[in-house]
Homo-oligomer: A and B are copies of this chain.
Amino acid sequence: MTRLLKKMSHKTGSPPGTMMHVGIEPLDTKLHYIRYNEQDIIELPTDDLSQLKDVPDAVDWVHIQGLKDIEKINKIGQHLEVHPLILEDIFNENQRAKTEDLEDGIFVVLKFINYDKSTNQISIDQVSIIFRGNMVLSFQNTDFPIFSIIRDRIIKASGRIRKMQADYLLYSLVDLVVDNYFTVLEALDDDIEVLEEILIKNPHSEILQEIYRLKREIIVIRRAVWPMREAVSTLNRFDNPIVNETTHIYIRDLYDHTIQVIDTAETLRDMISSMLDIYLSSISNKMNEVMKVLTIFAAIFIPLTFLAGVYGMNFHFMPELALKFAYPIWWGFTISIVVLMLYYFRKKKWL
């Protein structure tokens, strides 16, 4: 199962602002730049960000994948005058989702959730976005091409993205991260549906493991999702003049989606809890069944065995033994006991 915390104890005690990667093994750093406006689009050829300057009419999107090359990312940060504490946050994968006002821009940290259907595993990747003027800087530390859909959309000029400013790009990135939660929650909802079927028909013990896995995953998702609400709501509240009025409508819509994600996560959590309660009860139910079978067998045959034992005794003087019809009488007696017991258990509704 996914660990909750990325190991960071080695960092405790180092002075604040120290650049040090906290989290899973960082990947090699790769940069992708795109500069576009409604008419043109350039994929910038250089690895050297010092050439990058805000061009008033175009939108610049720098996407940095893999956080291994601390040196290089640091240099980019210094070039763009990013506060050391912001850079520290980008390197620390234990951040909660949040939105910070940078005076001349916005800094957003989000948790991208990824569900591997083959292994039923959830993984959570941290995505950091700096938005400033006409430029958007985004960071991630995994192989998964989170934002490739948006790159495609820009290149193919589909939707309105090419007609809009950098704030719309920021919105698009955040929206993609939020919408992806639905995919994961749907997958969990599917799993729950399957489990419910089993739970009611034949609750075996593997189901418990499944319920626990779901419960744990929903705990992890909730942890990622609740702070996102505040992050998006902060985005929504910004009076930042660099966010255009037209984009504001989209951000409000984005906030609605975030609430929906939380709402769904909470409902799924309620359902999983209910399933566990029901599971416990149905296990008790099954044990009751088992006990009844045992009790019926024992209650019928133990007295009979005793009866058989009686006439297996070797006392010299046992008058019954010599009776002619003793044996059939004994059987009659025995069978009538069985019938009586069955009648008794039927009346008790055990049969």
Contacts and interface: CB of A to CB of B under 8 A. Distances in A.
Contact of A315 (B180, B208, B321): B321
A189 B2 CA distance: 11
A258 to B, nearest CB: 11
Interface string A275-288: 01111111111111
A317 B321 CA distance: 8
Contacts of A33: none
A28 interface: no
A234 interface: no
A306 B13 CA distance: 71
A175 to B, nearest CB: 6
B317 A327 contact: yes
A350 B289 CA distance: 11
- Chain copies in the assembly? 5
Place the interface of chain A in its size category. 35 or more
A87 to B, nearest CB: 12
A101 to B, nearest CB: 11
Given A85-B250, A223-B263, A17 B159 contact: yes
A278 to B, nearest CB: 5
Interface in A268-311: 268, 270-271, 274, 276-295, 297-299, 301-306, 308-311
A160 B17 contact: yes
Contacts of A281: 208, 276, 279-280, 283
Given A277-B276, A326-B315, A264 B186 contact: no
Contact of A278 (B95, B202, B212, B325): B212
A189 B259 contact: no
